[in-house]
Structure 1
């Protein structure tokens, strides 16, 4: 019996109790889904629910009395061997071995679909992440968002949402001008301007711009007047830099559905349309020769200038136009992932959301990620030889590989600053979390391969009642948690929950492996015990592979 099946059975019991008058509630009072969770202690059973505590007050009953009412009905369910009422009204449910063991077959037969759910079905979500400026390689903070953002997108999709991955291409503004001037200076053999960009990559891009012009039969940039030369370096240099960024992300396993150009907001009239919409809603005012948005009406600490007195758009004008564009494209939820230096940005963005008539933190969500520090031999790794000032995606991938980089960046809450030990992440030991999980998967494959060579086949028999050892009940309970963990990770926007779950599952599998054989020993005959354990082994393999897939990490068959 899966947690979903037990949840549905509890919902049916509640409905029956309402229908026969035992439970003085209306059907509308019942939860759509009864939450069933794994108890912290295995001594408290296989599953637990606090539904009696949720409904007791509504029903005019003590939660414990309601729990006792449900206890008798639960005991009548096939596969339930014990039900304990604990504390103020918790229900601890124990399944018999056969009912618990059936989960192994459920997982194997569901295959890659196991763990998927419909908790977010019908939601259209625009997820914007990375969005690094096309003025240099992606630094380590952007790499964290690449790993976390792509993993979150996978989990949202696994929970039924329709997700569009979007990259906001910052090709408008002063930073692009500084980039162009830096390329021009380097092409001339000069140092970059004081406010420009340094690093070896600037020389590489400058040379690539000149080479592209030569290949296209166009005049070399330095033969042009300075203004024209700078424009060439701006247009071609940004294109080359962004092409490199996209390629590096692709190699990292991250691709986007939409690359949205900031410049298009200003050239298409989108800014003017957003201002007109807000003016219609009564939130625009003029003062000091500028156009303002009255964000203080929606909790911001001060009103914001949209159009400056010189007629130029302030930065927030692009935000207004971009948010409105996303909503007009039909997205129910807009999620934006930003770096640690953007905390002060949240208030004005939520005020903007409310000004358009939307609900802050529902139609618009902003996730803030903390810093990442790299450590090697106990010392911080502070800069890249190529970028000159920061650690880049290439530095991290070259040091530990894509799998270890993605897993290690996604396994911690984005609220936490993390230190990545490069020595640890290249070590083939159980201290290395990605190795620990991947090795568990490789071990399941090895067990299955050895079983096949010795004549153990799932096709020849399955008796779930034989899965009665404590390590088997622990492993089955862990497998049963996968769907709930995926749904919760998607709902809370916390993909690290899946990584931590996989580490617990790997630990449960390794303990089971140490105490239970799938293959016969010596001259021992193959029995249903071996075949049934193979089902459990292969179920674990499937869940490990599914979970690693949600993190964008490979599930190796040999290590």
Structure 2
């Protein structure tokens, strides 16, 4: 019995009480009831405070309402007992058969177990990474690559229509500095004072010359344009390949330059002006962002007639909404924290709802540690640590898991030696090893000629009555709620931490509950029931790791 099924049973009990006239709820029976696993196992399998929540509306003392509810709920299929605790909490125990039946349900659901329709019908635009095409992806950007891709997978698993989008910053001063840096490198000159250094600049400059061998024969301004056009494309191709190798691919690569060339900026400004949210002052055009919660109004078009940086943001946001996206999520680094207020005000100025139509997530810094000391220099990028530095040290799986394992509002210190170990203190190894061990059990069962009950019948769910079997089943039952919470709160790390807790529950079960017969022992229904539990657990691990973009190895 899952928490959702128990919630349905409680709703049915409340409905029965109201239909019988024993209970009056002016606002009606709630559609869902929160059911949680108690912190103390002895208190039962599940607990709810619904009696405390509804008592005032019902005009009854909480314990009196709890008593009424306990009497009806205790007769529900799959419920073994209901006890009242404290001021009106209900502690619920489920029958072993009802709990054990979950194993068959998970195996039957397969790769869809844990999915939902939570965001069904919603179009979500998820913009992340969006690093400037002036160098390799730095370590902060790769955090968003891991978290953003995992969040996209979780949204899709929760019913949303997700578009992963990369905003290609190919317009502005940073591109000029990049082009000048390439040209200087090709000519054997020092890096410009405001330019980019590192071995990658040398490599790309040489690659440009390989494509355009006569570039240095041109006047400097023309040569710089060649290095800009060819160099930016080479750098962006490298960024896309690096992300692909990291398991991250985008549906849309949106070029900032298109906003300025297509008239999208002008159209956005006209829309805001029609809505009365712009004004002219000191020869400039301003957006009334203070009116919508920003700390001050913002210049859109400067007195020289050139668009301010926010003008591109206005056009890009409107473009997303015109493409039909209900939710636009943007993932930014910690250095963009001051940007949130003006972006939310911009959203409101268009008549939209900040936090719904536009949501900005801020990610903190990532530090790589070796021998307890932070790494400072990249071999290739010169000054900034990159995605390749991390992957070269610990691999793609460990990198993705380590980056997605923590809430994004905290700084991460990644101990490269820890995450490279093949020991249980390495979280990704611990979880992947659990999946591989489950796969090994199923292979051994097949070698012994033991078929899983889902295929051959003979499954008695009430046989899964051992304490550790119950703990593992309750852990498996939590998976859909964990995924839903990860989607609602934008927190993929919940899936990673869940998998670690469930791996612990599995190992404890396996240590005390023998799954396969030994020696000449004949397979029993208990062996088959436990084998189905193993198959269900493997399904959950495979689904959870897939949401994080981490492989689920069959052997280790």
TM-score, shorter chain, exceeding 0.5: yes
Structure 2 residue 480 is matched with structure 1 residue 486: no
d(CA) in 1 for partners of 2:225, 2:505: 60
Alignment of structure 1 residues 250-261 onto 2, 5 Å:
250-261=244-255
Q: Distance in 2 between matches of 1:54 and 1:234?
A: 63
Give the aligned partner of residue 2 of structure 2: 2
CA distance in 1 between counterparts of 2:384 and 2:29 reads 54
3-state SS of paired residue (1:253): coil
How far, CA to CA, are the matches of 1:116 and 1:63 in structure 2? 35
Q: In structure 2, which of residues 514, 528, 531 is the aligned counterpart of residue 531 of structure 1?
A: 528
Find the partner of 1:273 among 267, 276, 301. 267
Superposed CA deviations along residues 449-499 of structure 1, whole A, max 9, x for unmatched, are 111222322125211111111110000000000000000000000000000
Structure 1 residue 156, shift from structure 2 partner: 0.9
CA distance in 1, matches of 2:120, 2:77: 31
CA distance in 2, matches of 1:347, 1:157: 28
Which of the residues 405, 408, 411 maps onto 1:414? 408
Deviation at 1:34, TM superposition (A): 2.0
Query: Counterparts of 1:248 and 1:526 in 2: how far apart (Å)?
Result: 50
Q: CA deviation at 1:29?
A: 3.3
Find the aligned partners of 1:483 and 1:305 in 2 and give their Cα distance.
46
3-state DSSP class of the match of 1:29? coil
Q: What is the distance in 2 between the residues matched to 1:465 and 1:22?
A: 34
Return the alpha-carbon distance in structure 1 between the equivalents of residues 293 and 137 of structure 2. 34
Is the partner of 2:462 in helix, strand or coil? helix
Task: Map Cα deviations across residues 252-278 of structure 1 (whole Å, 9 max, x no partner).
Answer: 000111111111111111111111111
Shift of 1:11: 2.0
Distance 1:127 1:251 in 2: 20
Distance in structure 2 (CA, Å) of the matches to 1:193 and 1:350: 37
Matched residue, 1:46: 45
Asked if 2 retains the 8 angstrom alpha-carbon contact of 1:460 and 1:531, the reply is: no
Q: Is the 8 A contact 1:451 1:518 kept in 2?
A: no
Equivalent pair of 1:52/1:63 in contact (CA under 8 Å): yes
CA distance in 2, matches of 1:53, 1:328: 46
Give the aligned partner of residue 126 of structure 1. Answer: 125
1:311 aligns with 2:311: no
Residue segments in structure 2 that go unaligned for 5+ positions in a row: none
Q: In the alignment, which residue of structure 2 is the partner of 1:450?
A: 444
What CA distance in whole angstroms lies between the structure 1 residues aligned with 2:86 and 2:120? Answer: 35
Where does 1:204-353 land on structure 2 (aligned, <5 Å)? 204-214=203-213, 220-353=214-347
1:224 is displaced (CA, Å) by 1.4
Which deviates the most, 112-121 or 41-50? 41-50
C-alpha distance in structure 2 between counterparts of 1:503 and 1:49, whole Å: 25
> What residue in structure 1 maps to residue 101 of structure 2?
102
Output the CA distance in 2 between the equivalents of 1:68 and 1:503: 37
TM-superposed CA distance for 1:518, in Å, is 1.0
The 1-side partners of 2:505 and 2:553 are apart by 19
> Structure 1, residues 109-139: CA drift from partner, whole Å, max 9, x if none?
1100100011122221111100000000000
In structure 2, the residue matched to 1:463 is 460
| Matching of residue 399 in structure 1 with residue 396 in structure 2 | no
Query: C-alpha distance in 2, partners of 1:14/1:168?
Result: 51
Pairing 1:58-137 to 2, within 5 Å after superposition: 58-137=57-136
The reply on whether 1:379 has 2:373 as its aligned counterpart is: yes
Instruction: Show the counterpart of 1:178.
Output: 177
Change (3 A) 1:17 1:460: closer
Superposed displacement of residue 88, structure 1: 2.7
The residue that corresponds to 2:546 in the other structure is 549
CA 1:135 to 1:147, structure 2 compared with 1: closer, same or farther past 3 Å?
A: same
Alignment pair present for 1:33 and 2:32? yes
**Structure 1 spans left out of the alignment, 5+ residues:** 215-219
**TM-score normalized by structure 1?**
0.97
Q: Secondary structure at the match of 2:212?
A: helix
SS of the residue corresponding to residue 481 of structure 1 reads helix
Detail structure 1 runs of 4+ shifted over 3 Å in the superposition.
none
Q: Distance in 2 between matches of 1:65 and 1:147?
A: 50
> Mean alpha-carbon deviation: is it higher for 86-95 or for 189-198?
86-95
Q: How much does 1:245 deviate?
A: 0.4
Contact (CA 8 Å) 1:180, 1:234: kept in 2 or not?
yes
Deviates more, 1:365-374 or 1:68-77: 68-77
- 1:504 is matched with 501
> Considering only aligned residues, what root-mean-square deviation do their CA atoms show, in Å?
1.2
CA distance in 2, matches of 1:142, 1:536: 40
Secondary structure at the counterpart of residue 305 of structure 1: strand
Q: Distance in 2 between matches of 1:21 and 1:225?
A: 91
Distance 2:45 2:231 in 1: 60
How far 1:280 moved relative to its partner?
1.0
Conservation of the 8 A alpha-carbon contact between 1:448 and 1:538? yes
* TM-score normalised to structure 2 length: 0.98
Distance in 1 between the 2:531 and 2:288 partners?
65
Distance (Å, rounded) in 2 between the aligned partners of 1:555 and 1:91:
38
Once the two structures are TM-superposed, the CA of residue 24 in structure 1 deviates from its matched residue by 1.0
1:472 aligns with 2:462: no
Equivalent position of 1:354 in the other structure = 348
Cα shift at 1:18: 2.7
Give CA-to-partner distance per residue, 1:46-68, whole Å, 9 cap, x none. Answer: 12222222322222223332222
- For residues 144 and 291 of structure 1, what CA distance do their matches in structure 2 show? 37
